Structure 1
Amino acid sequence: MNKAQLIDAIAGDSGLTKADAKKALDAFLKVTGDALKSGDRVTLVGFGSFGVSERSARTGRNPQTGKEITIPAKKVIKFKAGSELTDSVN
């Protein structure tokens, strides 16, 4: 499902217009991104939670040359599915 299909599904299930559904989805994405940038955790009970964790620097290998390279530390976004979402998939 891509963003346009998700907007159509939200509009169909909620009774909103497609334009309003797009605004709501865009607002959710912006607010979630801003919260994660500031180091907060976003939890939607039953659905799951988004969080940021640190990945430390490590040594890797260039697959073409076999030469060792240093992979810098960075922040990564993680999602952990909630129990209701997990149960609905299974």
Structure 2
Amino acid sequence: MTRSDLVAVLAERFGQLTQRDTEFAVKTILDAMSDALARGHRIEIRGFGSFSISRRPPRVGRNPRSGEQVMIPEKLAPHFKPGKALREAVDKHLPVE
């Protein structure tokens, strides 16, 4: 599902909202979540999951062209941990291959 798909589903489900209002609402929510993560806060949406920042330690990598070792610095990256209800919904609806 893309951002546009999400906007379309919300606009369809809530007929009183225009497409433009729905786009604004989705943008506002995503911006608020991005800002919270950028400030180092954790976001928890009960039943769906939580977003947090995880630290990736520095490591040694390789330049694929030359094979030369390169030091990759520490970095902070967003991390999503699905909630129990989301895990169960996915497990229930998707067949195991």
TM-score interval for Structure 1 and Structure 2 normalised by the shorter chain: over 0.9
Give the total of aligned pairs.
Answer: 90
Deviation of 1:4 (Å): 1.2
Alignment correspondent of 1:60: 61
Alignment correspondent of 2:27: 26
Separation (CA, whole Å) in 2 of partners of 1:3 and 1:50: 18
**TM-score after normalising by structure 1:** 0.92
Q: Which SS does the other structure have where 2:81 is aligned?
A: strand
**TM-score after normalising by structure 2:** 0.86
| Deviations 1:10-36 (CA, angstroms, capped at 9, x unpaired) | 111233221111111101111001100
Percent sequence identity is 39
Letter in 1 for 2:2: N
Separation (CA, whole Å) in 1 of partners of 2:14 and 2:66: 54
Q: RMSD of the alignment, in Å?
A: 1.1
Alignment correspondent of 1:47: 48
Q: Which SS does the other structure have where 1:64 is aligned?
A: coil
Structure 1, unpaired ranges of 5+:
none
Structure 2, unpaired ranges of 5+:
92-97
| Deviations 1:43-74 (CA, angstroms, capped at 9, x unpaired) | 00000100001111111111221110010111
